[in-house]
Amino acid sequence: MIAAQPYAGRERAGALLEVRNLCKSFRVGSETFTRAALVKAVDDVTFRIEPGSTMGLVGESGSGKSTVARMITRLIRPDSGEILIDGQDIVTGGAAGKRFARLVQIVFQDPTSSLNPRWKVGDLIGEGVLVHRLCPRSEIRNRVVALAGRCGLDVDSLDRFPHEFSGGQRQRIAIARALAVEPSVLVLDEPVSALDVSVQAQILVLLQELQAAFGLTYLLIAHDLAVVERFCSHVAVMRLGRIVEAGLPRDIHENPKDPYTRSLVEAHPVPDPHRRKAMTA
Ligand SMILES: Nc1ncnc2c1ncn2[C@@H]1O[C@H](COP(=O)(O)OP(=O)(O)OP(=O)(O)O)[C@@H](O)[C@H]1O
Ligand SMILES: [Mg+2]
């Protein structure tokens, strides 16, 4: 029997994530052979996500979405700006900031690159529990079994290697690994873009169930406006490092202002029963 609650019986609420005036530039081009240029990947980005809700972040390729995600999860350091989890700055907040940083975890588009192929699935899921000493060693296996079950993986999976699984199952492993350290915020960087449509739906349903169960706060990066409309309470659109449009998914769909948002809406028309009725009347 697999326990329904992976967090050792503790219920947690999602955290408030606030990003203020975030900036990040990259130097591109070799100093020796060509003139180096500075690319403003993220240029003064500000937003907040209420605890337990989901904000969608969309935008054309290269607009800076993943750079925002990598800064929020401390994989890269911002040039300037603040990243606050429940009011605590996780970049400049010293030891307390580091503790809060654990509360934010990321799931990437391609789980293969984030899962060490030489590690068994059980060890991959349990690594963070061990590193952060979230429970006694003797209890780690039980926690991993419970969490894997919650993510739709059976106990036998834990002694196998990531390459033995399908893309969808690997994404379940990546989600379980992210959840193992008891985050309050999950950054989902195109988590279903590489999967078959039928599998995409299963993973999205799983993410919705996990959010409802643990009150998680999500930042969902996506290209698919239909996914964003179904999943998100708010959406922000990025272009050239800046947020150019933000609001309720429905408002953005009905009245897109940015050219990229308009092209997204045109690429993914969502059936409108009222309009269809008017046309057939
Ligand atoms: N490590 C890096 N070094 C140099 N430039 C980078 C680096 N990381 C990102 N960039 C540049 O920053 C800009 C934003 O990239 P980013 O990956 O954040 O975009 P994205 O919106 O996630 O795109 P996609 O939808 O294709 O994933 C791009 O111009 C990219 O080339
Ligand atoms: Mg990206």
Q: Per residue in 58-92, pLDDT tens?
A: 999 999 999 999 999 999 999 999 999 999 999 88
Q: How far is the CA of 64 from the centre of ligand 2 (A)?
A: 7
DSSP H helical ranges for 180-272: 197-214, 225-231, 249-254, 259-267
Indicate if ligand 1 lies below 6 Å from the C-beta of 66.
yes
- Cα 92 to Cα 103: distance, rounded to the nearest angstrom: 16
- Cα 80 to Cα 83: distance, rounded to the nearest angstrom: 10
Q: State the residue for tokens 């078959």.
A: 196
Tell me whether residue 11 is in a domain.
no
Q: Name the 3-class secondary structure at 230.
A: helix
Q: Using pLDDT thresholds of 50, 70 and 90, give the confidence band for residue 13.
A: low
**pLDDT higher than 60, residue 7:** no
Tell me whether residue 6 is in a domain.
no
Tell me whether residue 9 is in a domain.
no
Indicate if ligand 1 lies below 6 Å from the C-beta of 61.
yes
DSSP H helical ranges for the chain: 65-72, 94-101, 111-114, 121-131, 137-150, 167-179, 197-214, 225-231, 249-254, 259-267, 273-280
Which tokens belong to 120? 């068994």
Most trustworthy range by pLDDT among 20-24, 95-99, 251-255 = 20-24
Tell me whether residue 150 is in a domain.
yes
Q: How far is the CA of 66 from the centre of ligand 1 (A)?
A: 7
Q: How far is the CA of 239 from the centre of ligand 2 (A)?
A: 12
- What is the CB-side half-sphere exposure of residue 165 using CA atoms within 13 A? 25
Considering every ligand atom, which ligand is closest to the CA of 25? Answer: 1
- Cα 242 to Cα 2: distance, rounded to the nearest angstrom: 45
Cα–Cα distances (Å) from 237 to 57, 245, 259, in that order, read 6, 5, 11
Q: How far is the CA of 57 from the centre of ligand 2 (A)?
A: 10
Mutate-to-test residue for ligand 1 from 39, 75, 219, highest number of ligand atoms within 8 A of CB? 39
Q: Using pLDDT thresholds of 50, 70 and 90, give the confidence band for residue 1.
A: very low
Classify residue 244 by its DSSP letter.
Answer: E
Q: Using pLDDT thresholds of 50, 70 and 90, give the confidence band for residue 234.
A: very high
- Cα 266 to Cα 78: distance, rounded to the nearest angstrom: 34
Indicate if ligand 1 lies below 6 Å from the C-beta of 69.
no
The reported pLDDT for the residue numbered 281 is: 45
Indicate if ligand 1 lies below 6 Å from the C-beta of 64.
yes
What is the domain extent for residue 164?
17-280
- Mean local confidence (pLDDT), 260-281: 62
- Mean local confidence (pLDDT), 241-266: 90
- Mean local confidence (pLDDT), 31-59: 89
The closest residue, in CA terms, to atom 27 on ligand 1 is 61
- Mean local confidence (pLDDT), 122-142: 90
Indicate if ligand 1 lies below 6 Å from the C-beta of 41.
yes
- Mean local confidence (pLDDT), 168-197: 94
Which ligand 1 atom is nearest residue 67's CA?
18
How many domains is the chain built from? 1
Tell me whether residue 195 is in a domain.
yes
- Cα 40 to Cα 27: distance, rounded to the nearest angstrom: 9
Mutate-to-test residue for ligand 1 from 22, 23, 26, highest number of ligand atoms within 8 A of CB? 26
The mean predicted confidence, pLDDT, of the chain is 87
Would you list the DSSP string of 193-206? TTS-HHHHHHHHHH
Q: State the residue for tokens 């809406």.
A: 265
Tell me whether residue 3 is in a domain.
no
- Cα 184 to Cα 47: distance, rounded to the nearest angstrom: 17
Tell me whether residue 74 is in a domain.
yes
Tell me whether residue 8 is in a domain.
no
**pLDDT higher than 80, residue 267:** no
Indicate if ligand 1 lies below 6 Å from the C-beta of 28.
yes
Most trustworthy range by pLDDT among 94-108, 219-233, 266-280 = 219-233
CATH of the domain at 259: 3.40.50.300
Indicate if ligand 1 lies below 6 Å from the C-beta of 36.
no
Indicate if ligand 1 lies below 6 Å from the C-beta of 59.
yes
**132 vs 52, more confident:** 52
Q: How far is the CA of 152 from the centre of ligand 1 (A)?
A: 33
**pLDDT higher than 50, residue 9:** no
Q: Using pLDDT thresholds of 50, 70 and 90, give the confidence band for residue 272.
A: low
Indicate if ligand 1 lies below 6 Å from the C-beta of 57.
no
Q: How far is CA 131 from the centre of its chain?
A: 22
